Amino acid sequence: MNHSSERRGSRIAAPGIAALALAAALTGCAAPRGATGSAAEKVYVKPGTYDAYYAFLSGGHSGQVYVYGIPSCRHITTIPVFTPEPAVGYGVDEETKAQLGGRTWGDAHHPGLSETDGDYDGRWLFINDMPGARIARIDLRDFKTREIFGPIPNVSAAHACPFPTPNTEYVFAASRFSTPVPNRPEKIADYAKQFRGVVAGVKVDPKSGHMSLGFEILMPPFDWDLADAGKGPSHGWEFFTCYNSEQAYDSLEVKASQNEMDFIAAVDWRAAQAAVDAGKAKTVGGAPMLDPRDVPGLVYLFPVPKSPHGVDVDPSGEYVCASGKLQAEVSVFSVKKILAAIAAKRFDGERMGIPVLKYEDVIEAKVPVGLGPLHTQFDGKGNAYTSLFLDSQIAKWKIGPPWNVEDKIDVYYSIGHLMASEGDTRHPTGEYVVALDKLSKDRYINVGPTKPEGAQLIDIRGTKMELLYDFPTYLEPHYVQMIRAEKLKPIDVYPLAENNRPGAVKRAEDARVERKGARVDVYMVAVRSHFTPDVIRVVEGDDVYFHVTNVEQDSDIAHGFGVLWSSNNMQIEPGETKTMHWKADRAGVVPFYCSNFCSALHQEMQGYLEVHPRGTPVAAMQRPDPRKVAEVAALMAHPGDVR
CA distance 156 to 159: 9
pLDDT, mean of residues 470-479: 92
Contact call for residues 285 and 182 (beta carbons, < 8 A): yes
pLDDT digits (tens, 9 = 90+) for 186-243: 999 999 999 999 999 999 999 999 999 999 999 999 999 999 999 999 999 999 999 9
| Per-residue confidence band for 635, with pLDDT thresholds at 50, 70 and 90 | confident
pLDDT, mean of residues 72-91: 97
Mean pLDDT, the chain, whole residue set: 93
| Per-residue confidence band for 476, with pLDDT thresholds at 50, 70 and 90 | confident
What's the pLDDT score for residue 21?
43
What's the pLDDT score for residue 630?
92
pLDDT, mean of residues 465-471: 98
What's the pLDDT score for residue 628?
87
What's the pLDDT score for residue 17?
41
pLDDT, mean of residues 308-314: 97
CA distance 421 to 377: 9
| Per-residue confidence band for 642, with pLDDT thresholds at 50, 70 and 90 | low
Give the SS3 label for residue 10: helix
Q: Give first-to-last CA distance, the chain, whole Å.
A: 58
Mean pLDDT lowest for which of 34-38, 165-169, 395-399, 480-484? 34-38
Q: Check whether 376 has a pLDDT greater than 50.
A: yes
What's the pLDDT score for residue 43?
97
Give the SS3 label for residue 520: strand
Name the DSSP letter for residue 32: P
pTM value is: 0.94
Q: Check whether 57 has a pLDDT greater than 50.
A: yes
Q: Check whether 15 has a pLDDT greater than 50.
A: no
Q: How far is CA 386 from CA 238, 263, 329, in A?
A: 20, 20, 10
244: left (phi over 0), alpha (psi -120 to 50) or beta: left
Q: Which domains does the chain have, with CATH numbers?
A: 496-641 (2.60.40.420)
Q: Check whether 597 has a pLDDT greater than 60.
A: yes
AA identity, residue 500: N
What's the pLDDT score for residue 557?
97
pLDDT, mean of residues 138-149: 98
| Per-residue confidence band for 11, with pLDDT thresholds at 50, 70 and 90 | very low
pLDDT, mean of residues 625-634: 90
CB atoms inside a 10 Å sphere around CB 478: 23
What's the pLDDT score for residue 35?
62
pLDDT digits (tens, 9 = 90+) for 228-259: 999 999 999 999 999 999 999 999 999 999 99
What's the pLDDT score for residue 34?
54
| Per-residue confidence band for 152, with pLDDT thresholds at 50, 70 and 90 | very high
What's the pLDDT score for residue 637?
82
